[in-house]
Amino acid sequence: MRVLLVEDDDTLRESAAAYLRASGFAVDPAASGKMARELAAVSPYDAVILDVGLPDDDGFALCTALRRRSPAPRVLMATARDAVEDRIAGLDLGADDYLVKPYALGELVARVRALLRRPDHAAPAVLEVDGLLLDPATREARRGTRVITLTTKEFAVLEVLMRAPGRVLTREFIGEHAWDDNFDPGSNIIDVYIARLRRKIDAPEETPLLATVRGAGYRLGRAGRRA
C-alpha cells in the first residue's frame, strides 16, 4: 500500500520512510506542504502521515485538501505532545487518527495498518482469497498448510491484489499502489514480480489463483467474487 509521508524534520522523515519501506509500504516522502500537494495531485495514496507543524503550509488546510481527493486517503496526523486543540481540530477536519510526537516507529506502522483495515478498505486483519492467506502485520502468507516466504516487494504486490479479489487490476494500478514515485511505468518490473509471485503462490498441483487477463492486467482469485 502506498503512503505519503509529510514531515519537515529530515532525520525523522528519513528514519520513518526507511521503517515503513522495510514494513512493506511504498513511501513517497515530502519535506514540505508544497511537495505534499504536488505529489498528491498526481498519485493516489492509500494513507497519508501528516505532520501538522509545517513551515510552509497549514497542516489542517493540507488535511482538508487531501481528504477532498477521490479516493480519499486515510490521514494519520502527527502532533506535538501538549497540543490537545490540534488533535481535536485534526479529527474534526477528517483526520482518521493522530499520533503524538515523538512516536515509536513501530507504533507508526501499526497505526497505519489499523487505518487501512477500517471499513472503507473492507479488509480484516488477515486477508484471505480462495484459501490464500496474507497477514499484513507479519507479512506471512500461506496457502493451506504451505507457508509462502515473500520478499518485501512481493508482499507489497500481493497485498494490492488481495485487497481487490476477483478484480482485474491494470499494471498501472498495481504500480501506483505498490511502488513509490520512482516507479517507471515503461518497465516490465510488475510482470517480473507477478511471475515470481505466481511461482510461489500456485504450486503445480494447485488450482491457479493468479490469472493474467490478456490486454488488461492481472486478477487474483475467481472472477466476479465479492470482496
State the residues that interact with Ca ion by CB under 5 A.
8, 51, 53
175: cell is 504500480
For Ca ion, which is the closer residue by CB, 51 or 159? 51
For Ca ion, which is the closer residue by CB, 90 or 221? 90
Q: How far is the CB of 52 from Ca ion (least distance, A)?
A: 8
Signed CA dihedral, 29, 34, 40, 42: sign only: negative
- Helix ranges restricted to H, 68-183: 84-92, 105-116, 152-162, 171-178
Q: How far is the CB of 80 from Ca ion (least distance, A)?
A: 9
Q: Cα(27)–Cα(10) distance, rounded to whole angstroms?
A: 15
CA-based nearest residue to 63, from 49, 83, 45 = 49
Q: Which residue, chain included where needed, has cell 526507511?
A: 18
Neighbours of 15 (CB within 10 A): 13
Q: How far is the CB of 53 from Ca ion (least distance, A)?
A: 4
Residues 6+ apart with CB under 8 A from 89: 60
For Ca ion, which is the closer residue by CB, 44 or 53? 53
For Ca ion, which is the closer residue by CB, 8 or 128? 8
Q: How far is the CB of 85 from Ca ion (least distance, A)?
A: 17
Would you call 127 helix, strand, or coil by DSSP?
A: strand
Q: How far is the CB of 224 from Ca ion (least distance, A)?
A: 47
For Ca ion, which is the closer residue by CB, 8 or 202? 8
